Structure 1
Amino acid sequence: MIGHELGGRYEIITRIGGGGMALVYKAHDILLNRNVAVKILRQQFVHDEEFIRRFRREAQSAAALSHPNVVSIYDVGQEGETHYIVMEYVEGHNLNEIIQERAPLQAEEAVRIAIQICDALEHAHHNQIIHRDIKPHNILIGKNGRVKVTDFGIARAVTSSTITQTGSVVGSVHYFSPEHAKGVSTGEKSDLYSLGIVLYQMLTGKLPFLGESPISVALKHLQETFDDPRAVNPHIPQSVENVILRAMRKNPIERYASAAEMLGDLETCLRPERVGEPKVAFVGGSDFDETRVMPAIRGSIADVQAASATGTRIERAGTDTEENRWDSSGLEETRKHRWVKPVITVASTLIIIVLVYWGAQTVLGWFDIEEVEVPYVVNHTEAEAKKMLEDKGLTVELPTIYTEKEGVAKGVVYDQTKANQRVKVGASIKLYVSSGPRMESMSDYSGMAYDDVVDALTALGVDKNNIKKDDEFSDEAPGTVIKQTPAADSEFDPKTASFSFIVSKGKETFPMPDLTGMKEKDAIALLESKGLVVNEADIVRQPSYNDEGTVTSQYPYEPEAPVYKGAEVTLTVSSGLPKDALEYTFNIVISPAVAGKTSEIRITYSDARGEDIEWGKKKINDTQSFSVKVVLDPNTEAKVSIFRDNQYTDTFSRTYDEVKSGTDTTPETVPGAAAPADQQAQTEETNGNGDASTNTTTTQ
């Protein structure tokens, strides 16, 4: 069946359950793109026309139910001999699994679940549908805590013949009502009886009736009493036990009149004014189907009737003697004085009553004990409550009951017995003390994604507003938790606790410096100052047109690229010129623009190392020689450009072949203009005196 496309619409994914009559599969509704549950009738029922007819009719009736606590019926169909019902798919667990895992449940949780079941039953009964198979297996609890009742109407479709064939009732006999066990017509109150058993099981972890066979269990439903829930679990409030006792009466008349009435009782049973109510009592004191021991009746029917009519006692036959018989004279005298004996009897009785009353009053006077008002200690701490009671001469009944109580702090009394009453000094008062709200254990979330941590905490009932986040650089992956408060394994109240997480932003980064053109030693020092790692064994040394020891490239981080501390960087360093490179020196004689006046000379050059490289600047006031060294490769031409007083003056060039051929060239000259006659004379005079000096500045 898995992988089959049922009805051309429902693709069967996997089997998720099954019972005596049907198998349940998870499927995907291709048309509406959603997951559904598909219940498929077992093969042994496909030829039972009456069963199929009722099956379809009841499924259609259940489909008419629309309630948040009822599993919705989407579709009913048939494909060949396969009869199926399509219903809502609930992601979660059934109540039986929850009971097996952690029963007994807290009273608050059990009542909350029972309220939702009862609400669903009230809706179904209002629509004239009786479930008849209420049990934990048919109660689904979604991940959001929503209770869903399933299998509405299916149990009703079982005929007398199919019950005996399949034995499907065996799994449910523990939840049968007495009238169901008898096989008589069942009604709404049968569902309430079954709900009472489910509530009993949630609170005690036990079933009320167990036996070696289904028949023995059914007989116990009819004839035997069960242990009171509080006898099994003393933490159950009396008001909750009263709900169970009333729902599980064997006589339907003594049960709740309707699901609505039971729902109202469930909704109020945990209110403070009801928790300590007295145990419920029923008229007659016993249930109608319980086994009774009747006294034996002796004598004839006539004797019994006569005794009933006259109020006289029946004597055992054969006990009369001759002395007990009357003659005629005795009869006459008795009639004359018959008033004497009753008068004596009445008088004696009155005297005895007076004497007993007088004696009782006397004895009670000997033991007369002072009465005191019981103080109201609710909302006080346990220590304060004990002191208040002891100050009144009262004692605390042991053991004190400690239970989780929502909204009541740990160690605070939330209920007591005999409140607002007068009792004898020395009387004991039972206290009910809160062990605090439900606490959860803090997990170790280190290394987990922050978003997953938030989802986990909100699933426990934590408000997202109570979760704070701070980002911090670290070696951990970005977005993961590196620190938490509270610490792992500590306990917290999901309703009030606050949480703080430090989340990794990843490693801290900064811009990569530009190392090209720097000397190897300086580049390494700069990298180490920024926390970067340079392995000298990995430095690449190769020829280049840069000076030897100059960094020519860096890897894998380009200048300005983001890099983090501890990252490794590889340098490429020049080992000198390539073998085919040539060096050449330009010798250039430059004069000032005007002889005797100062001129600023700026020189640039282009060679194998680049274009328009600044050689430097120099101020001159007479003719001077300049040497400019260039490097050529086979594909380049070296050029030197002269600028004087910020004006372009001349350019000189040499090709690779010219330099390689070794052709001698005379120095290049950049002449200036002649100085005026008076200035020239002054210059000669100055030079003759030896007082003038040349002021030059080189920026190379």
Structure 2
Amino acid sequence: MIGQTLSNRYELLARVGGGGMALVYKARDLLLNRFVAVKVLRQQFTHDEDFVRRFRREAQAAASLSHSNIVSIYDVGQVEDTHYIVMEFIDGANLNEIIRDRAPLQAEEAVRITAQICDALEHAHHNQIIHRDIKPHNILIGNNGRVKVTDFGIARAVTSSTITQTGSVIGSVHYFSPEHAKGVATGEKSDLYSLGIVLYQMMTGRLPFLGESPISVALKHLQEPFEQPRKVNPYIPQSVENIILRAMRKNPQERYDSAKEMLLDLETCLRPQRLNEPAVKYLSDEEDENRTRVIPAIRPDMVNTMEAPAVKVASSNNSDQWNSEGSDERKRKWVMPTVLGGFAIILIGILIWAVSALKGQMPDDVLVPDVVGQLEQEAKNMLTTAGFTIADPIIYEETEDKDADGKVIAQDKANMEAKEGSEIQLTVGRKKDLPLMPDLRGKTFEDARDYLKETLGVDKDNILPSPIFDKSEPGTVLDQFPKKDSPFDPSVPDMKITLTISKGEEAFPMPNLIGDSLDVAKAKIEKANLKLPAANIHMETSYTPKGEVFKQFPLDENEMVTAQMEVSIWISSGYPKDSKTQPLDVTVSPAVEGESSKIMIKYSDARGDNIEAVTKKISATTSIPITLILSPTKDGIIYIFRDGQLIQTEHVPYLAIPVTVEPDVPVDSGGGTNTGEVPPSNEGIDPVDLGTTNE
């Protein structure tokens, strides 16, 4: 759909995302000359009333909310079969990408993001809207750091009807609340449970519940405890773990009462006096009200005796035996039978005389020949020769027996005597005038099936799809059996019609291009039979080394794509202008002068967290050069390890460094790699001289 203009106003520029129900495009609003995001319902759902209703509900739910942390809805429309929603365009990434690239996040960043989500939920809940699908994929982080909650596609208004709803379960199983997994009513506290899982994932880099199938994951939400966050990541402050534990309680009564209460807890959890507060403790979950119970059997003495209702028998009415005046004289019934009897005797006498008079003129009885199986004309000849006439009209009846076409399949008075000259009724077989198979190619499977049922009366169960990979739109009929114009009988019970339909092009995993040069990325894209138009190569500033790919679309490695699909890549043109470069000499000493010690230096800066700069053995005091790249939102931190123990942390603030280096400064020669370890936070500790060591 790229290049199309919806409603003569929204020009679709590029696809920037999508889910199971809809695709999202970056577009230009030609009327207001601004970028917007246009969410388009997938074509296969445009005729599904449930999906269209859910799609419209998203626009209605989000449009009723106005909050700085909720994506704004600008417009909603329909062009023929295309349903779309126009919303605020967020230039940034979703939280799932950030977790994938940088988790575990620092506590300050994770709490800041969670607090903004919580603020958005407080506003939605205040307006009686339950999101029901809080997950990192639905959280957008703008380049300015602003968090935006989106995708209200399965949101529900809090009404009596939704409180009692126990219908189908919709949502993302890894972020289900226990009550959501059971398919019962979901409320505000279900959103808080899902938010607790999001915070758990940001702080640990993993999900609390995993399984081989969605059902197994849902059962774990209901039945199994999750691993304590601090056991996964011991550097999580106890106050933050307490928030996660309370938000993720299986019993909704033990969670936060509201998003506002959780927000107040988030706003104070990183204060120094709370960082090492006691771990929260809970009693074991109460038994489910719907647990299986033993019910005593009903004993005979417990059964209430019930009297059978008396049966009222109506007495017979003998009034017909008495005259109308009520006297006890019986009615006189002998007069009328006497008159009728006399009249009958006269008629019988007349009939006897008539039969005797005509007896000499009656035709003889003749054996009717059996003509079943004879051709129509031959049967006529046989009957007329025997002295019979043919009843008009002859009955013609369709038959499935091809050999019976034109032959007598039934007659009356066969193999019995009949009066000479009497009529014989013949039934002659005629082959069925079968309809011809219509040409169904190019139709959707649903349209073809409806046409066969409504026009020819074919049972839908006898119309079978045979999907194959093809470039055509999924669901399109490519071939058929019986073939076009072939005669067929739709009334035959086992008559099967097979429609070969397209299931789209065969999909394969998207290659990972992050960190590749342009030439290497092009080679991978060409090898995967994908397209990379020149217009889809974007040069932007980034904290990725100059010349390397730092973003791609499709976004996820191993996301399923199809041949000749267009790919977009973003290549770093160097560091942003507001970045600062700080070269440092880190002086380290062995544990014992003259004896060997293993030194490892890591750093966190705008390029990432916990990047290993150097690992080496020293036996004397040594100076090691390190270069940090800082951004306005990311200070630098240097961690020094000796023999596996953290001995020193140095905080390098952005504001303390003057801008002295251009954005295109190359990456330091240390060539660090992200190990995934999270060193302990030393905020609040006075800076130490890098030339000394701390045991």
With the shorter chain as reference, the TM-score category is 0.3 to 0.5
Higher helix share: 1
Normalising by structure 2, what TM-score? 0.42
Normalising by structure 1, what TM-score? 0.42
Return the index of the structure with the highest Cα Rg.
Answer: 1
